[in-house]
Structure 1
Amino acid sequence: MTYSYPELPQGSPPPPLVGAYGAEETESLSLAGLTGILRRRWWVIILVALVVGGFNFRREIDKPEIFESSFRLLVTPPPVEGLNPLTAIQPSGLLGGRQNNQNYFATQIELLKSNTLLSQVWDDIENEDPSSINAERLSYQQVLSNLSITKMPDADIIVVSYRDKNRERVQAVLKKLANTYINYAAEQRDFQDNERLRFVNERLPEFEERVRSLQSQLLRLQRENNIFNPESAGENASSRLNTIVDQRRNLQLKIQQLNARKEALEQKTGVGNDQAFALSSLGQSPVYAGLVNSLNEINLKLVQSLTIYTPESIQVQQLQEEKASILQLIQAEIDRGAPGSIGRRSLDEVLNSTDVGGPKAAALGELANVGVELEVMNLELQELIRAETELRQQLERITTISGQYATIKQEFDRQKSGLDQLTATRQALEIEITKNYVPWRLISNITLPNQPIDTLPRDILFSTLLGLLAGCAAALLLDKLDPRHHSVEDLRSSYSHTILGYIPLEKELRASIKYGSPLPNEAMQESYARLYSNLFFLKRKRQCHSFVVTSAESGDGKSTTSFFLAQAAAKLGQKVLLVDGDRYFPQKQAWLKLAKITGFGGDNASPDGNGVLDSLAGDSNGQNDDLPELLGKNLFYFKVQDDTMTPEQLVSASQNFVVKMNQWKETFDLILIDTPPILGLTDSRLIADQTDGLVVVVRLNKTRKDSLKEAFRELALADLNVIGIVANAITSTSGGYGYYYGRYYNNRYYGRQKLAQADQ
């Protein structure tokens, strides 16, 4: 039998190798993977844990005994608000300023562990007389490592503990530490108080000078502007300005009213204000009044004479001459009293206007009075406007002075307040320095430790944890170095192919085949039924009928998988052809035994194979040597030619195999071809080219990772369709559904056995 290699397009690169093994490069340790490692390598973990933990425990118990003692210090944090009023004016943190207790204790604990304090204790112990206390010289690092300083929760108490192999030295070191720490607290208190007092004394002259300078500026500003209090002066000026503004507005209203009256009188009299005043003055003159009266008498006499005499008569002419003489006198009086005010008015108009007791004379008098009042009010208005302008200028100046005064006064008050606080602080610090108050007190006795520290529980716990940690590390390392696949999760995370089935491990399978005993494990057969159901749905969707069942290496269980998969399909009424494509290790005898021990072959086989063999015999033209054999009900078997064929025979067999495959696809519902492993041989790839795809069987705890990876690489290079992976030989440490099938069916089987024994 021969095969033809699939052709690749000339000049084209090989297909990309994706999905099959690419995920292996980025695999990570998941929780499921870690659990699987613990299940598989538990014996390594226990063994390494016992060795490492035992060694560490032995080393711990061989160490010399350690003694420990402690003392307690009552630590009173400095009352920042009460004893240090300086904090109200200084920045936070200045000279140990405002801080909470937590920060204070954390800082003090670090200071107590500092080299400055511990070196004093170390030097005192080193300078003592040689004795059992100083039998072994101590270093500063040893003192620091053996020292523990902590704060008790919810209490202002510091606990100082020290441990050493020499119990006398423990007591001596603690006494030195207690004296050193108490002296340190007293020195620190004195140092802080003196520093604060020095700071206050340095700042006081500066504040005093600033206060004096600001006070001089205030006095000079008051003296130069003749204002004691700019604020009150501004209020007075503003009040007076408001009063004058009101007066000006009222006066302007009155002037408007008088102007309206004046215009009405001018229209009534027909003269202006100046002429009305002149006419009114003229009418009030006695000389003018006497002349007017004389004129009136002459006019009366003239009227009477005209009734008696003619105009040319001497009497009338004399009266005319007297009248003319009086008129000249009146004109002279008018020219003397108001020469320019009356203007070109005729003498008759003047006489009519100055008619004493007439209505026009009264109107002229009122017009003259209105004019006088207007002149007076205008003078008052000008005075009010001048006063308003002066007050506004004064108020603007006071406002400027008030701003300067307020700025200087504000700075003066601030500096004065600072000066008062500094003065109070200096007084408080001077009183505090005179006290002999020690802020820290020893509240417990320093005793000589009698019993060593019981480290057994800690040693056991530490050794156990160290052993388990080392065991887990060793298990992870071994699993990393192990070249085999161990779990379904490992397959799923390393390859993108679908896991088609989970086959549980059947340890008695080889013995059953050898001795012909029945298989008690129904879980394995049920897992193959589930595998076929997955292939059935795939076959129905993609119209697939033929599959190659192969593996990366020999011994992975591909032949057993092929048989039980074919048997599961045959049990469901499918006509199945099982082709033994392994020319080097035929599986016919093993399959016959499997059919017998599973109760599927032998007498249960249909003699005529449901007429399949007869149909194939009719199509073979009498060549019965190439016909399949009946292996079980609905299950048929066919063997390819052996490996002794010549190249010419292989070519001929290949052509015949292609023809037979086309015939078989029309006759059988499912064709399964068991081929040799992928690596080292080309049979699987050549046969798979004539089928619908490959099913790769992987035996957990046996198949090597590099072999499976290389197998998928070769399949990808050949551009073959890999249907999926079958995870074989699943155990409780492998994970996957096959293990749960086995546990379920084993429980059911042994449960039936117990019930049968109970019935007997």
Structure 2
Amino acid sequence: MVTKFNKFSVSDQFQEFPSEDQEEISSSSARGLNLKPLIRTLIRKAWLIVGLTTLGTSGALVWSFQDPATYQGNFYLLVEPISPFSKMTDPTTIVRSSNGVPNEQLFALDYPTNLAFLQSPGMTFKLAKGIHEQKPAKSIPAIWLDLRENLKVERLGNTSSTATKIFAVTYKGEDPEEVKTVLQSASDTFLKYSAEDRETSLKAGVKFIDQQLPEIQQRLKKLQSQQEMLRRQYDLIDPTTKGQDVLTQVGSLTQQLLQVEDQLKTQQSLYENLRRQLNFSPDEALAASSLSQDPTRVALLNQLQQIDSQIAIESSRFTSENPTVQVLEQQKKNLLKLLNEKTEEIIAKNSIALPGNSKVLNYQDPTRLQLINQLVAANNQIQQLQVQYNSLQQYKTQSEKQSKLYPGIIRQYQELDRQIALTTDILNRLLTQRESLKVESAQELPWQLISPPQIPLDKDGKPISEPPDRKKKLLAGIMGGLILGVGIALLWEKRKNIFYNAEDLKDVVSFPVVGNIPWDSKLETSLYGTQASPTNSSEFDPALETPPIFSIHERGLLFLNAFDFLYSELSFIYNSPALHSLVVSSVQAQDGQSTVALYLAKAAAATGKKVLLVDSNLANPQLHLWLNLPNYKGLSDLLVDDELASYDVIESSKEVENLYLLSAGCAESPSTKLLWFPRMRSLMREFKVRYDLIIYDAPHFYESTDIGFLGAQTDGILMVAGIGKTSSSIFKQAMSEIEKLRLPVLGIVANHPSPPPSGMF
């Protein structure tokens, strides 16, 4: 079960781990979108983000001061008549109004469409080509791009009550002479467009009428033809005589229907009698007739009957294993096969739908064949009579409908006459309208330039410039600095590859974080006499180096309370059954796992429980130094010497009541897997009987496979992660390995083995 644990160096570990991107994708897909890690990263690196944003904003501000001043000019176009009198005398309104009464709204200008068209790429490109002819130094694409950005056409007035009939055209540029040139070219182009558009509209009206005239003329001819056809078809000279003839025809058809109905009932009665005698449907009768009249199939049936008779005779004399009987059986099988093939051939040849009735395949004698033919004939006669009856019924229905149509035929004739008169009137009006449009096209009413192109001037007659708009560049600087700061912060966090707090642990692993051990500043005070600075904290690491001999009680209150909370949390979560043994481990050195094991044992002993602390880290034992106890004999000695008793090497703590230590010992063995010896299992069972809680301080996860053995023999593993120290990718991979091996995990402890660095959140 533990063969997957490999002992390798830290460099080998990083080669085995998957990329961080793959890990992030996997964790994100498993837990969904979680923005909390991103928010914590942004808070931790707020100084970096703010600095780069400030730098980007400053650069954009300096850049914006290099922008030159701009000049803005405009001109105004009157696109419709202003006064009611001018509008009423407009030929367009007079000619196109109903009964000669002017209607101002009939052909009102489409303002949104005209505004969009004047600023469209096609119009601005046409304008760019005209400007290029006057100023060839600038390319057409450059002029076109400048026009699309700086040339604006708007209708004066924003609401329905203030909307005017004036277009305001503005242009902004760096050169006042160029601004005047653009505006002058735009005014000439727009006025030319208005004249051409009006002329085009009138020509389009004439063209539309010309397109409609042939259709209306054709419709008039069609109506006249329908009226003539109706007169000839129904003989409208004397409709009464025609209606009497139709009524006589309806009576004759009724008599014929009665005769056919009698014949149909006779044939149906014959059909039902034959069907009951034969017990066949028409399809079954047809299939039986075809199969029974085939000579080959009849011959095969006769041969099959003969074979059956011979088999019956021989079976009375011999057993079924007799060669004679077997030969007859084989002949029967061959005849059945030939019979089935012939039956399928007849069915396929005649396209017969063979029903699922075994009687159809039987031989039919001449009497039944005659009855079958009568059944088929009766069925055919019934179908013919039904067709004849339906035809007569349909003809009678049509005649009855026709006899009822004559009152409406005269109305239809009159309606055609009315439509002919209406179509003639429309045709005459369109011809008149076409002539009116031709007269209107001779009039010239283009847009009017009410304010020529101009640039505002100061009191000295010089063009007034406008300061550049710095908002866009400032916004770009702010967004660029912000994006750059966030990007660098995220890359920095990924490069560090550590946990900054317990919340980071919760985002990476699915196991509960049951404890959060703070850094104890009192430890530095007790070791050095004064508060050590973070830069000097590397001189002593209590989780790795050999600690000096001092009392384990010399710790801060917050630090000790954290272990009381950790033990309470474990006792609350795992109370049924109660927690009896556990393994404390980590993935790297300096994570503080021995410290966690020691003070967790101390917290459990303080509750009155008898606690055994086992130093199973045989390669780097430390617990005896923390408890100021000897290490002459210990766990390794017990494993190599079966005669040595455990109570001879287990030491009682002098400082903590109810706390006992089984140190690592000093015995040497050629085997690197002492903990896998059967003696270890016996000792663990013994410890469970003698102590209330056993805590094993195991080697680091990737230094030995012992944690696999210990985890399987105890209630679970308590993994320690060093905040600001442990590699998050290594820790995640270790927890994944534990999950694959299905080892029980009690939870994660977030330990702070060193003072928090600057920027830690």
- Give the TM-score normalised by structure 2: 0.57
How far apart in 2 are the matches of 1:144 and 1:524?
71
Structure 1 gaps, min length 5: 9-16, 89-96, 242-391, 594-600, 602-618, 740-760
- Shift, 1:470, TM fit: 1.9
| Shift of residue 71, structure 1, vs aligned partner | 4.6
- Offset of residue 467 of structure 1: 1.0
2:26 counterpart residue number = 26
CA-to-aligned-CA distance 1:246-268 (integer Å, 9 cap, x gap): xxxxxxxxxxxxxxxxxxxxxxx
Q: Offset at 1:225?
A: 8.2
- Report the equivalent of 2:464: 450
Residue 464 of structure 1: which of 478, 486, 504 is its match? Answer: 478
Matched, 1:632 2:656: yes
Which residue of the partner structure matches residue 583 of structure 1?
618
Corresponding residue number in structure 2 for 1:124: 130
* Percent of residue pairs bearing the same amino acid type: 25
Matched, 1:494 2:546: no
1:573 maps to which of 600, 605, 608: 608
Asked if the contact 1:23/1:495 (under 8 Å) is kept, the reply is no
By relative contact order (CA 8 Å, sep 6+), the higher-ranking structure is: 1
Q: Deviation of residue 690 (structure 1)?
A: 3.4
Aligned counterpart for 1:541 among listed residues 576, 590, 613: 576
The 2-side partners of 1:714 and 1:647 are apart by: 28
CA deviation map 1:8-58 (0-9, x unaligned): 9xxxxxxxx9xxx99755233622122011022223323433444444443
In structure 2, do the counterparts of structure 1 residues 397 and 141 end up closer, same or farther at CA, with 3 Å as the change threshold? Answer: closer
Q: Would you say the 8 A contact 2:227–2:413 is kept in 1?
A: yes
3-state SS of paired residue (1:195): helix
Distance 1:656 1:123, change over 3 A: closer
Of 723, 730, 733, which residue of structure 2 is paired with 1:710?
733
Pairing partner for 1:693 from 716, 719, 741: 716
SS at match of 1:632: coil
The one-letter code of the counterpart of 1:697 is V
Deviation at 1:641, TM superposition (A): 1.6
| One-letter identity of the residue aligned with 1:710 | Q
Q: In the superposition, relative to structure 1, how do residues 436 and 626 fare at CA in structure 2: closer, same or farther (>3 Å)? A: same
Aligned CA distance change for structure 1 residues 456 and 160 (closer, same or farther; 3 Å): same
Distance 1:84 1:27 in 2: 77
> Offset at 1:460?
2.3
Aligned to 1:561: 596
Question: 154-163 or 577-586: which moved more?
Answer: 154-163
2: CA distance, partners of 1:202 / 1:652: 103
Cα distance, 1:696 vs. partner? 0.6
5 Å matches for 1:500-519?
500-506=514-520, 509-515=523-529
The question of whether the paired residues in 2 share the 8 Å contact of 1:37 and 1:479 is answered with: yes
Work out whether residues 538 and 544 of structure 1, in 8 Å CA contact, stay in contact via their aligned partners in 2. no
TM-superposed deviation, 1:420? 5.6
Aligned to 1:112: 118
Matched residue of 1:647: which SS? coil
Distance 1:189 1:694, change over 3 A: same
Among 44, 59, 62, which residue is 1:58 paired with?
A: 62
AA at the equivalent of 2:27: E
Shift in Å, 1:426: 3.4
Distance 1:453 1:439 in 2: 34
User: In terms of mean alpha carbon deviation, does 203-212 or 717-726 score higher?
Assistant: 203-212
What is the Cα deviation at residue 560 of structure 1? 2.3
CA offset at residue 514 of structure 1? 4.9
Conserved 8 A contact 2:150-2:173 = no
Equivalent of 1:679 in 693, 696, 702: 702
1:197 aligns with 2:206: yes
Residue 41 of structure 1 corresponds to: 45
> For residue 139 of structure 1, what is the aligned residue in structure 2?
142
> Which residue of 2 is the match for residue 362 of structure 1?
none
Letter in 2 for 1:498: P
The amino acid of 1:419's aligned partner reads L
Give runs of aligned pairs for residues 342-381 of structure 1, distance below 5 A: none
**Deviation digits for residues 112-132 of structure 1 (CA, Å, limit 9, x no counterpart):** 2445433443343333378xx
> What is the deviation of 1:493?
3.7
Counterpart code for 1:540: N
- Bigger drift between 482-491 and 543-552 goes to 482-491
Q: Which amino acid aligns with 1:674?
A: D
Q: What's 1:169 paired with?
A: 178
Q: What letter matches 1:173 in structure 2? A: V
Q: CA deviation at 1:188?
A: 0.9
Task: Name the residue aligned to 2:188.
Answer: 179
One of 723, 728, 737 as aligned partner of 2:746: 723
In 1, Cα distance between equivalents of 2:730 and 2:566: 24
- Is the 2:2–2:741 contact (alpha carbons within 8 Å) kept by the matching residues of 1? yes
Q: Secondary structure at the match of 1:541?
A: coil
Letter in 2 for 1:672: I
In 2, the alpha carbon distance for the partners of 1:506 and 1:207 equals 102
Are 1:697 and 1:726, in contact at CA under 8 Å, matched by a contact in 2?
yes
Q: How far 1:701 moved relative to its partner?
A: 3.1
Query: Contact between 2:69 and 2:465, CA under 8 Å: does it hold in 1?
Result: no
Deviations 1:359-411 (Å, cap 9, x if unpaired)? xxxxxxxxxxxxxxxxxxxxxxxxxxxxxxxxx99986844742652563465
Matched, 1:479 2:493: yes
Letter matched to residue 184 of structure 2: K
In structure 2, relative to structure 1, the CA distance for the partners of 1:461 and 1:397 (3 Å cut) is: closer
CA contact (8 A) 1:40 1:733 kept: no
Q: Does the residue aligned with 1:577 lie in a helix, a strand or coil? A: strand
CA distance in 2: counterparts of 1:214 and 1:475, whole angstroms: 84
Q: Alpha carbons of 1:655 and 1:211: their partners in 2 closer, same or farther (altered >3 Å)? A: closer
Can you list the C-alpha shifts for 1:229-257, whole angstroms capped at 9, x where unaligned? x9xx99xx99xx9xxxxxxxxxxxxxxxx
1:698 deviates by 1.3
Query: Aligned partners of 1:146 and 1:636: how far apart in 2?
Result: 84
Query: For residues 730 and 682 of structure 1, what CA distance do their matches in structure 2 show?
Result: 25
Separation in structure 1 between the aligned mates of residue 108 and residue 752 of structure 2, nearest angstrom: 67
Question: What's the CA shift for 1:500?
Answer: 1.9
SS, match of residue 707 in structure 2? helix
**Structure 1 contact 6–689 (Cα < 8 Å) conserved:** no
The RMSD of aligned alpha carbons is: 5.0
Post-superposition CA distance 1:62-120 (Å, at most 9, x none): 344444444555656999xx9699999xxxxxxxx99999xx55543443244543344
Report the counterpart of residue 284 of structure 1 in structure 2: none
Q: CA deviation at 1:688?
A: 3.1
| Alignment check: 8 A CA contact 2:579 2:715 kept | yes
Q: Which structure 2 residues correspond to residues 278-297 of structure 1 after superposition, within 5 A?
A: none
Measure the CA separation in 2 of the matches of 1:48 and 1:645: 59
> What amino acid maps onto 2:618 in structure 1?
R
What is the TM-score of this pair, normalised by structure 1? 0.57
Describe the shift of the 1:114–1:458 C-alpha distance in structure 2 as closer, same or farther (beyond 3 A).
Answer: closer
Partner of 2:383: none
> In structure 2, do the counterparts of structure 1 residues 202 and 708 end up closer, same or farther at CA, with 3 Å as the change threshold?
closer
Q: How far off is 1:655 after superposition?
A: 5.7
Instruction: Report 1:208-287 matches (<5 A).
Output: 208=217, 210-211=219-220, 214-215=223-224, 218=227
* Number of aligned residues: 524
1:649, CA displacement in angstroms? 11
Check whether the contact 1:171–1:447 (CA below 8 A) recurs between aligned residues.
yes
- Greater C-alpha Rg: 1
Q: Name the amino acid aligned to 1:143.
A: D
Farther-moved stretch of structure 1 (552-561 vs 25-34): 25-34
CA distance in 1 between counterparts of 2:97 and 2:497 reads 72
Aligned-residue offset at 1:693: 1.3
2:50·2:482 contact (CA, 8 Å) conserved in 1? yes
Moved more, 657-666 or 510-519: 510-519
Rounded Cα–Cα distance in structure 1 between residues aligned with 2:401 and 2:27: 91
Conservation of the 8 A alpha-carbon contact between 1:503 and 1:528:
yes
TM-superposed deviation, 1:203: 2.8
Determine the C-alpha separation between the residues in 2 that align with 1:136 and 1:198: 40
